[in-house]
A and B are shown apart, each in its own frame.
Chain A
Amino acid sequence: MDTYTSAPEAPRARLGRSAAGVARRLDWALIAAVAALCAIGTMLVWSATLPGDGSGPMEATGHMRRHLVHLAVGWALCLTVASVDFRAVRGYAPLVYGATLMALIMVLTPLGAVINGSRGWIVLGPVQFQPSELAKVGLILVLATLLGEPRDGESKPMTRDVLYCLLALALPLALVLLQPDLGTTLVLGMIFLGMLTLSGAPLAWVVGMLACGVATACAVWWFDLLEPYQLDRLATLIDPSADPQGAGYNSAQALIAVGSGGFSGTGLFQGEQTHGRFVPEQHTDFIFTVAGEELGFVGSVAMVALFIVVFWRILRIAAGCDQPYPRLLCVGVATWFAFQSFINIGMGLGIMPVTGLPLPFVSYGGTAIVANMLALGLVLGVHVRDRGFE
């Protein structure tokens, strides 16, 4: 059996593969699941952004249409990335990583804008985007390169590789913390831990890093490094009804919205809790509460099931990879999506602290959608290429 590294001729021939050939090799189950989530998300965004003054759905389509534009751009980028050989993409990894770092630095300059208490946005005329979303993609690319293709001919990453990885993590982590954006910080750390764990790195490092993660969480808790509102959010996770108008307000209202949906939900556009806008940020971070209220248990569980399908397929692609680099790419993306989805849905259900993380493929937000789609494109690309080698 040949590996692609030692047989440069074969892939080159495949690079010229026709669009029809690429299409035939795409993971259609994964695409269908993501597309379904996107479609549901569009409806939920639409419903969540109705003005709530009794006007019908057709009178307020602004957010919904912008969301469709984001999705269109996202899907186009996704398919483009999917049709490019991931080895070619790998070559751009340092560039992408460097660009996201630059963007994260720019955020802290006057070009950055503060939205919802966090300096996480860059506003360039009519275009505004969130570099921290793109930083996740950049980090995955760099970590996959560092861990998947160890130096000195080792088959597994050694201590030195891990140290490089730590450095690669530390830079965006520090910049995101400065915004401050705790949610993204957690996601970056989680991506690192997930990829490291499945990279074959020395067990001591894996265990050590996991321990570090837990220790950091504890330290942050004990040394009061969190902003007061973050502590409040953690505290209200324990008892959301303790202070319904204060920090617990989001949680309490989210629970009411989800719970009141019941088994079958109120029906799309019919949620009174949603249209009274009792849950803040219901079209972005708390989009799942709209699903809970309007689509009920049936719809919510269906969404959870779709997410399971997405992660399952991505990890299946990872399992099918011969080589560590594409596998780690998929593992990184899966870790990102799974962690972020779990936190997001969990906070809507009152079992996770409130952090500002969007629900992948569902929440409103251009940068997040584009970043999600780019990552999906990477995974699909691995699937397209990797099949060929078996």
Chain B
Amino acid sequence: MHRPPGTPARPVRRLGTLGVVLAQVLVVVLFAALGVRLWYLQVQRGDHYRELAVSNHHQELVVPATRGQILDARGRALVNNRTELVVSADYHELQGMPDDGEAVLAELSEALGTPLEELRQRMRLCGPTVERPCWPGSPYQPVTLAEGVGSQAALQIMEHPERFPGITAQAHAVREYPYGDLAGQVLGYLQPVTQEELEAREQLRTQFTGIDQVGRDGLEKIYDAQLRGTAGLRTLGVNNHGEIMEVLSDRMPEAGMHLVTHLDAEVQGIAEKALAEGMAAARPRYPADSGAAVVLDVRTGGVVALASVPSYDPSVWRGGIDQETFDEMLSAEAGEPLLSRAIQGQYPPGSTFKVSSLSAAAENGYSLRSTYACPGSINVGGQNFENYAGQGHGTITLHRAIVVSCNTVFYNFGYRMWLSDGGLHPDGEPDEAMAAMARGYGFGSPTGIDLPYETGGRIPDRQWKRDFWEQTKENNCHRAEHGYPDVADQDPSHAAYLKRLAHEHCVEGFEWRAGEAVNFSIGQGDVLVSPLQLAAAYAAIANGGTLYEPRVARALVSADGSEVQMIEPSVKGRLPVSEETLAYLQAALTEVPKAGTASGAFGGFPQDLVSVAGKTGSADVVGRQVSSWFASYAPADDPRFAIVVFVHQGGTGGATSAPIARKIYEGIYGFSANAGGEDEEGDRPPSEGALPDGRPWQELPTVRSDGSIDLLDR
């Protein structure tokens, strides 16, 4: 107001104007920077953010397919599915909570009535140092916390997601075993899929869905892909709360196929029971700590029964096994029930092996019409080799040598063949006829059965001996030079003996010696076979020389019955023996249960109805009690079944294993056990056998389009 007009306004304006122009430039520069940033985010990195956006609001749900059932030959379910309420947790969501999900687990512990500590343990990922129970699967799979949850508790969880974040209760199909521990090792078990398997399989991070399980043993493992079917995949659009807004794509799951096996639940049951009872009967005198029984269909190689004792109930695997059970199943005291003795055990076959040795002799110039001396013992290389109980039988036919199980006849074969090969120092390539014949019978290599972890046994020969020597030479030669000072402190004479032995092994351990050839001839020494190998070999003798790869599975049938894939018998080879030799062997084996080493066990058995052919075996292993074998087939005149029974440290073949085999035959054909006068079996009326007319089921059980299964009947 007091300012003279006109004077001061101009400089102020100029200064102000300049400042304002600078401000304009500043604003343009700053906002241009935003434009540059936008270019970077949206154009340069657009693809990256689009990917993030997709993983943000697309959720892929894997909908597991219903796993196929495992059926016996008649259509009875050995493994099926039961719907159960399962409570599971999202591992990452719980781990992401500030208290690692502790509060949620505490809440859950109350709702389920399960100790909090147990839930905590089940949430841990399994590892070398983590004790069970723990989660053996992938952390991207829902972690099973409780199975068989009551509907009350499940409802509580489902209705209050805010109290149980990261927890779901869902109905899941879980494996059920209607026959309990029947054929447990054959059926196998399931375990949650591991992260490695998941990545290898389909590169899918399954979100919160059903529990993806994988067969870990037995049929569940071998036929895992077919049984599992194809999981469905549902892609969901979700919002920030994980609420489903829309279904973007939906591929329905395809149920797994049913596996029809050659197994017969009834025969399997009879075999397991007979084996367990037979072992129990042997036990006062022998440890009889484990055993196996194999029933094969000699015409197809189909496995009608495969028993191994001790056994276990595969349902222990369901929902996370606890450490105690797990340890027990692997412990020696419990007899390692996970191990199937029938296919994974390997033992010296003893006299049951003589069929191979006889064939080797017959095919290499030893006449089936000649007679051979059966002294009480023979001396080879300064060592005495005895008959069983040192008893001689004079001069006998080979037929009789099988029937009375004369060892010395076969010792001589072994020794003479060893000599003709050139003894300790063969010129050129030795024939090794005995070992070659054993391989022709299928020994020394896996049978090829459709079960995992099968053993191949061992057929020792000169090459094997050399390889073994190469492996042990260093240690033996070291010992030969330096002795056993640790042993010498306590027992100088034993140490001296060991040193001599080491020296011997070091200098001439590669030599295949006469004593070894002699032992080989009666299935002793380093010869090892599995009960299944022996059964396949006897089945081949029975069917005229065809060596089948045993098959447990017979067919795969789709869940609606529309598709059937037969699993055809597979021939592994033919026995390298002439018809004449085979017929000779069959005749000899047929007499064993009538007038030979198994006649006691088969006393009173209706041989006129079903003639059994077989061979006993009693195998020695240093430091152990004698193990019992019986290898057989029936009917002798029209063979159908081959049965091999083995009891580890169970006594002689005739006393322990043959009676078990007899019980299995009686069960199959429906003969009353009373006739044998051994013990009372009141389970079934006489003459109603598991397979009454002595034939395995020919047709396949019918799977209807509604999923139901018709049992076969006669």
Chain A residues at the B interface, C-beta cutoff of 8 Å: 1-3, 5-6, 52-54, 153, 155-156, 194, 197-198, 200, 245, 253, 255-263, 272-273, 275-278, 292, 296-297, 300-301, 304-305, 307-308, 311-312, 315-316, 318-319, 321-324, 327, 331, 334-335, 338, 341-342, 345-346, 349-351
Chain B residues at the A interface, C-beta cutoff of 8 Å: 1-3, 5-6, 8-9, 12-13, 15-17, 19-21, 23-24, 27-28, 30-32, 34-35, 37-39, 41-43, 45-50, 52-53, 56-57, 96, 237-240, 245-246
Query: B interface, by DSSP: helix, strand, loop or mixed?
Result: helix
* Residues on the A chain within 8 Å of B238, using CB: 276
Chain B residue nearest in CB terms to A53: B245
Q: Give the distance in Å from the alpha carbon of A341 to the alpha carbon of B33 in the complex.
A: 13
* Residues on the A chain within 8 Å of B43, using CB: 262-263, 297
Contact of B239 among A200, A262, A277, A308 (CB under 8 A): A277
* Residues on the A chain within 8 Å of B30, using CB: 338, 342
Question: In the complex the two chains form, is A297's CB within 8 Å of B240's CB?
Answer: no
Question: In the complex the two chains form, is A292's CB within 8 Å of B240's CB?
Answer: no
Question: In the complex the two chains form, is B6's CB within 8 Å of A297's CB?
Answer: no
* Residues on the B chain within 8 Å of A262, using CB: 42-43, 46-47, 50
- 9 additional A-B residue pairs with CB within 8 Å, beyond A2-B5, A327-B20: A155-B8, A262-B42, A292-B41, A308-B28, A318-B20, A338-B27, A342-B34, A346-B37, A349-B41
Q: List 10 A-B contacts (CB under 8 A).
A: A54-B245, A198-B20, A253-B240, A276-B237, A276-B238, A277-B240, A297-B38, A315-B24, A342-B31, A349-B34
Contact of B15 among A53, A200, A245, A350 (CB under 8 A): A200
**A-B pairs with the 7 shortest C-beta distances?**
A259-B49, A260-B53, A262-B46, A276-B239, A297-B42, A155-B8, A198-B19
- Chain B nearest Cβ from A329, distance in angstroms: 12
Question: In the complex the two chains form, is A52's CB within 8 Å of B27's CB?
Answer: no
Question: In the complex the two chains form, is B9's CB within 8 Å of A3's CB?
Answer: yes
Chain B residue nearest in CB terms to A341: B31
Question: In the complex the two chains form, is B16's CB within 8 Å of A324's CB?
Answer: yes
Question: In the complex the two chains form, is A327's CB within 8 Å of B16's CB?
Answer: yes
Known: A256-B56, A258-B42. A278 touches B9 (CB 8 A): no
- Chain B nearest Cβ from A339, distance in angstroms: 9
Contact of A304 among B12, B34, B237 (CB under 8 A): B34
- Chain B nearest Cβ from A242, distance in angstroms: 14
Known: A153-B2, A272-B57. A308 touches B49 (CB 8 A): no
Contact of A312 among B12, B27, B46 (CB under 8 A): B27
Q: Give the distance in Å from the alpha carbon of A341 to the alpha carbon of B27 in the complex.
A: 11
Contact of A1 among B6, B21, B39, B246 (CB under 8 A): B6
Q: Give the distance in Å from the alpha carbon of A1 to the alpha carbon of B9 in the complex.
A: 11
- Chain B nearest Cβ from A301, distance in angstroms: 5
* Residues on the B chain within 8 Å of A319, using CB: 16-17, 20-21, 24
- Chain B nearest Cβ from A266, distance in angstroms: 9
Chain B residue nearest in CB terms to A263: B43
Q: Give the distance in Å from the alpha carbon of A338 to the alpha carbon of B34 in the complex.
A: 12
Known: A54-B245, A54-B246, A200-B16. A259 touches B42 (CB 8 A): yes
* Residues on the B chain within 8 Å of A194, using CB: 23
- Chain B nearest Cβ from A248, distance in angstroms: 13
Chain A residue nearest in CB terms to B49: A259
Contact of B53 among A197, A256, A345, A346 (CB under 8 A): A256
Question: In the complex the two chains form, is B237's CB within 8 Å of A272's CB?
Answer: yes
* Residues on the B chain within 8 Å of A318, using CB: 16, 20
Contact of B56 among A278, A300, A321 (CB under 8 A): A278
* Residues on the B chain within 8 Å of A346, using CB: 34, 37
Question: In the complex the two chains form, is A263's CB within 8 Å of B46's CB?
Answer: yes
Question: In the complex the two chains form, is B31's CB within 8 Å of A307's CB?
Answer: yes
Question: In the complex the two chains form, is A276's CB within 8 Å of B240's CB?
Answer: yes
* Residues on the B chain within 8 Å of A335, using CB: 23
Question: In the complex the two chains form, is A153's CB within 8 Å of B37's CB?
Answer: no
* Residues on the B chain within 8 Å of A304, using CB: 31, 34-35, 38
* Residues on the B chain within 8 Å of A255, using CB: 41, 49
Question: In the complex the two chains form, is A292's CB within 8 Å of B42's CB?
Answer: yes
Contact of B96 among A52, A245, A308, A315 (CB under 8 A): A245
Q: Give the distance in Å from the alpha carbon of A290 to the alpha carbon of B472 in the complex.
A: 76
Question: In the complex the two chains form, is B57's CB within 8 Å of A259's CB?
Answer: no
Q: Give the distance in Å from the alpha carbon of A262 to the alpha carbon of B37 in the complex.
A: 13
Q: Give the distance in Å from the alpha carbon of A309 to the alpha carbon of B41 in the complex.
A: 23
Chain B residue nearest in CB terms to A7: B5
Question: In the complex the two chains form, is A259's CB within 8 Å of B39's CB?
Answer: no
Chain B residue nearest in CB terms to A327: B16
Question: In the complex the two chains form, is B24's CB within 8 Å of A312's CB?
Answer: yes
* Residues on the A chain within 8 Å of B34, using CB: 304, 342, 345-346, 349
* Residues on the A chain within 8 Å of B21, using CB: 315, 319
Question: In the complex the two chains form, is B42's CB within 8 Å of A156's CB?
Answer: no
- Chain B nearest Cβ from A281, distance in angstroms: 12
Question: In the complex the two chains form, is B45's CB within 8 Å of A259's CB?
Answer: yes
Contact of A301 among B17, B24, B35, B245 (CB under 8 A): B35
Q: Give the distance in Å from the alpha carbon of A312 to the alpha carbon of B23 in the complex.
A: 9
Question: Most chain-B CB neighbours within 10 Å: which of A257, A276, A318?
Answer: A276
- Chain B nearest Cβ from A291, distance in angstroms: 10
Q: Give the distance in Å from the alpha carbon of A255 to the alpha carbon of B37 in the complex.
A: 11
- Chain B nearest Cβ from A278, distance in angstroms: 5
- Chain B nearest Cβ from A156, distance in angstroms: 7
Question: In the complex the two chains form, is B237's CB within 8 Å of A301's CB?
Answer: no
Q: Give the distance in Å from the alpha carbon of A286 to the alpha carbon of B38 in the complex.
A: 15
